[in-house]
Amino acid sequence: GISGNIHPNLRYRALMTYSRSWGTPLIPSVKIRDQFSTMLEATYTSRKLNGWLFSGAVAYDKSQVIGDNTGMQVKVSKTFDIPLK
């Protein structure tokens, strides 16, 4: 994976995985199965937004194990500072 900042208010994260499956010890596979997974995420925040975060991600799996899948995520979150006395 890799992550960084495109801009002071915009972060990114990219993950990628490749694997090969021979099955399990109890249920071995007749042939080797490949799987490729990738995900790209971006998060936006600003001091002006007072702790609000906006994030979006898209993911894709190309798999001979569980089939091909595509997914998307949208997230809005808020962080708070709790003063300790």
pLDDT computed for residue 58 by the predictor: 98
pLDDT for 82: 87
Regions of the chain short of the pLDDT cut 70: none
Identify any residues that bridge with 3 across adjacent strands, giving them in sequence order.
Answer: 13
Query: pTM to 2 decimals?
Result: 0.77
- The reported pLDDT for the residue numbered 28 is 87
pLDDT in tens, 26-37: 888 889 999 999
